[in-house]
A and B are shown apart, each in its own frame.
Chain A
Amino acid sequence: MSNLEVLKTYKLYIGGAFPRTESGRFYAPVSNQGEVLGNICLSSRKDLRNAVVAARKAQGPWEERSAFNRSQILYRIAELFSDRKEIFLKEFQKQGSSPEEAVLEFSTTLDRIVYYAGWCDKYNQVLSSVNSVNSSHFNFSTCEPMGIVALIAPQNTALIGLVSLILPALAGGNTLVALASETLPISAISFAEVLNDSDVPAGVINILTGKQDEIAPIMASHMDINALISSDLGSIENQIAEACIDNLKRKFTYTEDFNQPESQGLTFIADLQEIKTTWHPIENIGGSTSTY
């Protein structure tokens, strides 16, 4: 029996499949201990477009699922993530974390998934309203997901930053096209494997790896992406903000340290919701006091 290790190839996650980048390009990020993390896919514009097509196809069915069902799927992510603790601890350390840091990042990530799983069927109750209008109408405002959210994961964490922004978008019924941390990409792909086994429908989350400077501007100018979320993008922040204006993408920049247990909350869900107000007359249609 041979003890020769079988190395894992890290690929993209698009439409529920794990393709290599269509461009055939790769890059080889190096950990802070000088270890090469692997030949990682260097995603292209075409990969991003494919991911957006997959997300758009998944958007309707995902947002029409019952919130309760979404909640169960999100909780299922936590179950499978928990099950693969050893894999993630190993990867975190490979990417430069100390054993203690790895355990902390894992447990914070796990708690965050469970936290947002619990929000799915509650945020609408908290954020919606029945409005007392000065006429005979029933009038109410509810939340609706914005649609496709482009996510540029924080660079400084392997997973907690990515997960802290994926989960609230997902809980709110959005689909995602995410770009993993450029320097710490491998646990993002392992997390895609968790997602793929967790009953998250194909296309609801798509994860790319590659260069932030290359992919972020393409995300920002894509006309079928509804929102863009990221941590501070530094020198390209303004360029990205400006490109988002072409289709009035909603853009949010989060500067939180996601390792902190309190870096979570309803605002992360609310930011990616549109408020829809519906009116209907109350009286009999055509009645003498009809409010047409």
Chain B
Amino acid sequence: MENKKNTSKDHQWLYSPSLESTSHIEIKDKYELFINNEWIAPTSNKYFDTINPADEKVLSKIAWANAQDVDKAVKAARKAYDEVWSKISAGDRSKYIFRLARMMQEKARELAVIETLDAGKPIRESRDIDVPLACNHFFYYAGWADKLDYAFPNQKTESLGVVGQIIPWNFPLMMAAWKIAPALVAGNTVVLKPAETTSLTALKLAEIIKEAGIPPGVINIITGHGDTGEALVKHPDINKIAFTGSTQVGKAIQKALVGTGKRSTLELGGKSANIIFDDAPIDQAVEGIVNGIFFNQGHVCCAGSRLYVQENIAEKLVEKLKQRMKSLILGNPLDKNTDIGAINSKEQLQTIEKYIQIGIQEGSEIFQCEGALPANGFYCKPTIFTNVSQSSVLSQEEIFGPVLTIQTFRTIDEVIQKANNSPYGLAAGVWTDKGSKIFNLTSKLKAGVVWANTYNKFDPASPFGGYKESGFGREGGMHGLGAYLKIIK
């Protein structure tokens, strides 16, 4: 796709680049591990590069923690739990988290730019969605610390201890916030491991944690690859593992925890259905479809990747969708005009391309926007497939990219059956003008989040999490507290 050129049939104009400045941000050449509010060199002496997926340039070198480093971090967290965090008043815990939220807000712009550089997501999304939601998550949970008795009436609760947290690369800072905030207000201390391709905002958060004066050891951030995460899961002094990522890795973690007495919550994959009825407001539904699958390049566990359109409007809707796709701007994530940024990593791009080939081989009909991709960096054109069968690989497996499958349906019962015919159960979308139909569907769709006449909305007060193989436990809202507390019966 030519940069900045809107190729929509009726609107031909060129956008001037509108690049977000990177002059106000500071990225160090090298990052150590954040343990006890100190920067500690890894005993492994190993570092790995983190690159900007939009141009493949190296941004910084990141410490690669081994089991010994993990042990240091867990020990720091245990000491902080025993001596400080479980001893101070709930009111003080609350005030620390409020303070952290405010300092993050002060540095929101820097966090957003770094997120875009490291993850490849459009600056509009980092600036307006990821970073504000991350700050808000801390702000929301801060107030719960001294009100936990109200969340579990007639029951007593206790903190768990030291929590190990492993997060993915699709919403790096936001996932860190989703994990850390409820754990801390519930009285636990944490060891957080960011994904290897997106460590930078977590490390910036570490700087803010230190600056905010959060007691040493309460939040420890250790960077590395899968082996680092594995060492964290297997560490004997961890009381709970919270994981967001693929279903495959989630199951492996769960198996490693059997017999250890460690608790867990898992937020895993999805293949969410987005259902459009013939009485839906079509133009808004098209926006919802685009937002559902192309938001964050489709790197969204709850992406509306299976589209079901009522047969009698399918032709018209698909035509409108194609028209709308032609106006999507793919390019430099730092450009404020950009709708579709870079794919997070080369590896992920290869996975997506593999699925696109499978779709073609399965005989589905592909549509992609025209135009060339940027010469460097990892990019994938927004892609839709029609004539997809329910049993195809493309409509069963999570792709985690900007690839949509489209199927049609005639009756409401048929679409409920098709939508629920998946081992996953994370989210679903319903578009119709009829309230009774919405309630009928939302109660029958087996999914943890249902968006009616909207899609991909998130909020700290709104519980998020899946049914079936999309994992268990909720994050966000009052229900999210339960993941970090023991109920004393």
Which residue on A lies nearest to B474, using beta carbons? A275
Q: Are A141 and B479 in contact (CB under 8 A)?
A: yes
A241 to B251 Cα, complex, angstroms: 12
- Chain B residues with CB under 8 A of A2: none
A149 to B136 Cα, complex, angstroms: 37
Given A131-B477, A292-B287, A292-B453, is A275 in contact with B463 using a C-beta cutoff of 8 Å? yes
| Interface of A: prevailing SS | mixed
Q: Are A139 and B453 in contact (CB under 8 A)?
A: no
Given A250-B472, A286-B281, A292-B287, is A133 in contact with B452 using a C-beta cutoff of 8 Å? no
Q: Are B284 and A290 in contact (CB under 8 A)?
A: yes
Cβ of A156 under 8 Å from chain B: no
- Chain B residues with CB under 8 A of A241: 258-259
Q: Bits for B451-489, please: 1 = Cβ < 8 Å to A, else 0.
A: 111100101111111011101101001110000000101
Q: Are B459 and A131 in contact (CB under 8 A)?
A: yes
Cβ of B449 under 8 Å from chain A: yes
A265 to B448 Cα, complex, angstroms: 24
In chain A, residues 234-283, which have Cβ atoms closer than 8 Å to a Cβ of chain B?
237-238, 241-242, 245-248, 250, 256, 265-267, 274-281
Which residue on A lies nearest to B247, using beta carbons? A248
In chain B, residues 319-377, which have Cβ atoms closer than 8 Å to a Cβ of chain A?
none
- Chain A residues with CB under 8 A of B489: 256, 265, 267
Cβ of A1 under 8 Å from chain B: no
Given A141-B479, A265-B489, is A292 in contact with B450 using a C-beta cutoff of 8 Å? no
Q: Are A133 and B462 in contact (CB under 8 A)?
A: yes
Which residue on B lies nearest to A227, using beta carbons? B472
A246 to B248 Cα, complex, angstroms: 10
In chain A, residues 209-248, which have Cβ atoms closer than 8 Å to a Cβ of chain B?
226, 237-238, 241-242, 245-248
Q: Are A276 and B450 in contact (CB under 8 A)?
A: yes
Cβ of B433 under 8 Å from chain A: yes
Cβ of A137 under 8 Å from chain B: yes
- Chain A residues with CB under 8 A of B460: 134
Range of interface residues on chain A? 35 or more
In chain B, residues 234-262, which have Cβ atoms closer than 8 Å to a Cβ of chain A?
247, 250-251, 254-255, 258-259
Cβ of A98 under 8 Å from chain B: no
Q: Of A134, A247, A281, which is within 8 A of B453 by CB?
A: A281
User: From residue B189, how far is it (CB to closest CB) to chain A in Å?
Assistant: 26
Q: Are A133 and B459 in contact (CB under 8 A)?
A: yes
User: From residue B290, how far is it (CB to closest CB) to chain A in Å?
Assistant: 10
A203 to B61 Cα, complex, angstroms: 60
Q: Are A280 and B438 in contact (CB under 8 A)?
A: yes
Cβ of A9 under 8 Å from chain B: no
- Chain A residues with CB under 8 A of B266: 248
Cβ of B38 under 8 Å from chain A: no
Given A245-B254, A247-B469, A267-B155, is A279 in contact with B454 using a C-beta cutoff of 8 Å? yes
Cβ of A285 under 8 Å from chain B: yes
- Chain A residues with CB under 8 A of B154: 266
Given A226-B468, A267-B487, A280-B438, is A292 in contact with B461 using a C-beta cutoff of 8 Å? no
Q: Are B153 and A277 in contact (CB under 8 A)?
A: no
Cβ of B288 under 8 Å from chain A: yes
- Chain B residues with CB under 8 A of A141: 462-463, 477, 479
Cβ of B215 under 8 Å from chain A: no
Q: Are A285 and B433 in contact (CB under 8 A)?
A: yes
A246 to B291 Cα, complex, angstroms: 32
User: From residue B305, how far is it (CB to closest CB) to chain A in Å?
Assistant: 18
Q: Are A129 and B136 in contact (CB under 8 A)?
A: no
Cβ of A4 under 8 Å from chain B: no
Q: Are B468 and A247 in contact (CB under 8 A)?
A: yes
Given A226-B468, A291-B454, A292-B288, is A131 in contact with B448 using a C-beta cutoff of 8 Å? no
Could you write out 16 A-B pairs with CB less than 8 Å apart? A131-B459, A131-B463, A133-B461, A139-B459, A226-B468, A245-B254, A245-B258, A248-B254, A248-B472, A277-B448, A277-B449, A277-B462, A279-B450, A285-B281, A285-B284, A285-B453
* Closest CB pairs A-B (n = 9): A133-B459, A238-B259, A131-B461, A280-B452, A241-B258, A278-B450, A245-B254, A279-B451, A242-B258
Sample of 13 further A-B pairs with CB below 8 A, known A141-B479, A242-B255, A286-B284: A129-B477, A131-B477, A135-B459, A237-B259, A275-B463, A276-B450, A277-B448, A277-B449, A277-B477, A278-B442, A279-B449, A286-B283, A292-B287
